[in-house]
Amino acid sequence: MLPRAAALAPGASPGLGGRSPPPPAGLDDDEEEEPPPRGRAMASGGGGGAAAAESVPRRAEASGPQAEAAEEPEGGSRRWGAQHAGARELAELYSPGKRLQEWISVILCFSLICFNFYNLLFYLRLEHTPSVIVGIFAGVITADFLSGLFHWGADTWGSVELPIVGKAFIRPFREHHIDPTAITRHDFIETNGDNCFMTLVPLANMAYKFVSFSPEALCETCPWECYVFALIIFITMTNQIHKWSHTYFGLPRWVIFLQDWHVILPRKHHRIHHVSPHETYFCITTGWLNYPLEKIRFWRCLENIIQGITGEKPRADDMKWAQKIK
């Protein structure tokens, strides 16, 4: 049997004694207290979750900046959540310009999705069925891996101070580890804007094919386009699925059903990632690849290679924000 991960407060390190209080009596795994109301007009960043409640391979004790993050700040204990000093500072970096970019991305993305879906249905043939099924499954697997790769990259490397990408794309990941429940207070636009932005180019390319290729060529490539479309859909919805994995109040029954059957990322499964120092279980679309990638130490091997080449320590910027006390 693999050891069970301790139930820690969001962002807390093992051994701190900062355990989450038990839920009120009468609540099961599918129920929890209502999250606090949204604290600002345009909250930013990612979502939250309790710590691991499943059996997972545990890594060695953290060292360097990770060990330092476990130390209590002088003069009192660290306050995780929306009142954490780092979380407040990061939340204030969510700008009107960023909001506009998210609105434009969502509108363009879903317009192109509707156009491409209509054309896919038009060119589908019955003989395509086996290859389409395989293509959709492969698209979901690819989306899960890419969600892990992007999540790992943003969690582990880079800085909020980087030009353009720092405040726009890395900032939400830093806030998410300090205030994991922030994502449950985000609306649809803020939750999905960045993922919609990332899929605009492949969606536009697919739309271009539908208006410029011959019907014969489109029929021939339809199974491949179904793979690409499934990949795009699951990438687009990844952060919405991620938000659901942090939501314990008021989820639709069909979402709970998909989580319970592990069609999309389950809530218990994602808790494993939120044990500090957030170094495992990065795939957040379905989570299917998390265990096999952890088993072969995929992320740790990549980190060792990059650290050996660049000298940069993994998650150094993440730890810096976690240690802010004022």
- Nearest residue to 44 (alpha-carbon basis) of 141, 183, 228: 183
Q: Name the 3-class secondary structure at 48.
A: coil
| Whether 139 contacts 229, CB under 8 Å | yes
In a domain, 55, yes or no: no
Residue 306 lies in a domain: yes
Report how far residue 34's alpha carbon sits from residue 23's, in angstroms, rounded to the nearest whole number: 11
Provide the 8-state DSSP code for 183: G
pLDDT confidence of residue 174: 82
Q: How far apart are CA 247 and CA 184, in angstroms?
A: 6
* Confidence bin at 14 (pLDDT 50/70/90): very low
Q: CA torsion 241→119→228→206, rounded to 10°?
A: -110
Is 93 inside any structural domain?
yes
Indicate whether 44 belongs to any domain: no
Highest mean pLDDT among 72-76, 224-228, 317-321: 224-228
Higher-confidence residue of 139 and 59: namely 139
| Residue 205 Cα to chain centre, angstroms | 25
Predicted confidence (pLDDT) at residue 4 exceeds the cutoff of 80: no
Kindly state the average pLDDT of the residues 170-193. Answer: 87
pLDDT band with cut points at 50, 70 and 90 for residue 92:
low
Write down the number of H helices and E strands in the chain.
15, 0
What is the total count of domains within the chain? 1
Task: Report pLDDT for 82.
Answer: 52
| Residue 100 confidence (pLDDT) | 94
Residue 60 lies in a domain: no
> Which residue range is the domain that position 102 belongs to?
65-70+80-322
Residue 171 has what pLDDT? 84
- The predicted pLDDT at position 158 comes to 86
Alpha carbon distance 216, 236 (integer Å): 29
pLDDT of residue 209: 96
Is residue 16 domain-resident? no
Residue-level pLDDT at 93: 56
- Residue 81 is predicted with a pLDDT of 56
> Would you say residue 252 lies in a domain?
yes
Q: Is residue 3 part of a domain?
A: no
Residue 241, pLDDT > 50, answer yes
